Amino acid sequence: MSEASIPTTIGRSSPETTAAALATAPGFRARHLPTIVLAIVLALLPLVLPNAYYYDVVIRILANAVLAIALNLLIGYCGQISLGHAGFFGLGAYGSAILTTHYDWTAPSALLVSAVVVGLLAWLVARVILRLKGHYLAMATLGLGIIVTIVLTNEASLTGGPDGMSVGDMRIFGLRLYGEKVWYPVFAGLVVVAVVLAGNLVESPAGRALRALHGSEVAARVVGIDTASFKTRVFVLSAVVAAIMGSLTAHYLGFITPQVASFHKSVELVTMAVVGGMASIWGSVFGAALLSLLPDLLAHFEGFETVIFGVILVATMIFLPRGIVPSLARLLRREGR
């Protein structure tokens, strides 16, 4: 933003006038306008959703979008590969389910405790596995996810084993959250909050440090960035977000199985971040929407849906290697010149 865009207002005017000047500045509009548009679209979307099925589809997209945004901070901005992130999602889901079902905890307290426990576990794990790099790190996180799935499957007395377990309703201040129309604003609000917070983080000094770490960890250390600390913080942050979304999803669905922590779920989340666009918040949102909708859209091609799905993903990575959103944005910038 140039000095000319907010010339004399900031220096000698009231806070209200200063805020108005900032809001009309080109940089402010470019950064916040997409978020405002997203909030408006999500607010108006229920007007065109005809029944509970479409509400459910949108809610699943919104949940995946939050997960993909958090994971993209780790993979896209920090450069650390995680193939076991669904494990944290599953721990959050089962943590809430077990505490509310077997121990009669309230849902909010179960969610909070599950998130804290997952955060501590992620911190302990990060101290060890984030010393690894490349495919070694990917294999370590893959092993972590598999361990979580095995534990959830074998501890049948608590988790119900492979058959899964029921999860009670969530109540907040006496309000019962039940049904797609009630849960929709919760997940919609979380997506907007995730986009805003992730955007602020990326634009902050910490975000610039993460991009430096991704570019060259050695160079980042040379300029004084505590690379181990930053990697650990982002890993813990993304794990806690996954646990919170796992808890909320469990209460929304009312029933969970160990598949919520499966390797397939982890790969799905990574694919959303990569296909949508690495180091792109909006790419994460688009990737979540695309990967959530494609299986249903391809269901008409019975017997070939998996093949077509794979061809689409391969073609995307060949022709749009930076991800769909960053590649299209770069193309539009070129044409605009």
* Residues 121-141: tens digit of each pLDDT: 999 999 989 888 878 888 999
Name the β-bridge partners of 56.
none
**Cα separations (Å) of 272 from 180, 285, 294?**
24, 8, 12
Tell me which amino acid residue 78 is.
C
pLDDT for residue 12 = 46
Q: Which pLDDT tens digit goes with each residue over 238-295?
A: 999 999 999 999 999 999 999 999 999 999 999 999 999 999 999 999 999 999 999 8
User: What are the distances in angstroms from CA 64 to CA 53, 153, 264?
Assistant: 17, 23, 14
Q: Tell me what percent of the chain is helix, strand and coil, each rounded to the nearest 5.
A: 80, 5, 20
**Ramachandran area for residue 133 (φ above 0: left; ψ -120 to 50: alpha; else beta):** beta
What pTM did the predictor assign? 0.90
Q: Which two tokens stand for residue 7?
A: 């010339």
For the record, the structure tokens of 138 come out as: 């990917």
Phi, psi (rounded to 5 degrees) for 253 = -75, -35
If one counts every other C-beta atom within 10 angstroms of the C-beta of residue 165, the result is 21
Q: Which residues of the chain have pLDDT under 70?
A: 1-30, 336-337
Q: Which of 31, 32, 65 is nearest to 241 (CA)?
A: 65
Q: Could you write out the three-class secondary structure of 75-88?
A: HHHCCCCCCCHHHH
- The answer to whether 152 touches 159, Cβ cutoff 8 Å, is yes
Q: Where are the beta strands (DSSP E) in the chain?
A: 165-166, 170-172, 175-177, 255-256
Instruction: Report residue 246 as tokens.
Output: 């796992």
Instruction: Give the phi and the psi of residue 2 in degrees, each rounded to 5.
Output: -85, 160
Q: What is the pLDDT of residue 119?
A: 97
Q: What is the pLDDT of residue 162?
A: 95
Where are the domains positioned within the chain?
52-262
Which amino acid belongs to residue 89?
Answer: F
Burial 227-252 (b: 16+ CB within 10 A, else e): beebbbbbbbbbbbbbbbbbbbbbbb
pLDDT computed for residue 337 by the predictor: 66
Can you tell me whether residue 278 is helix, strand or coil? coil
User: Looking at the chain, how many residues does it have?
Assistant: 337
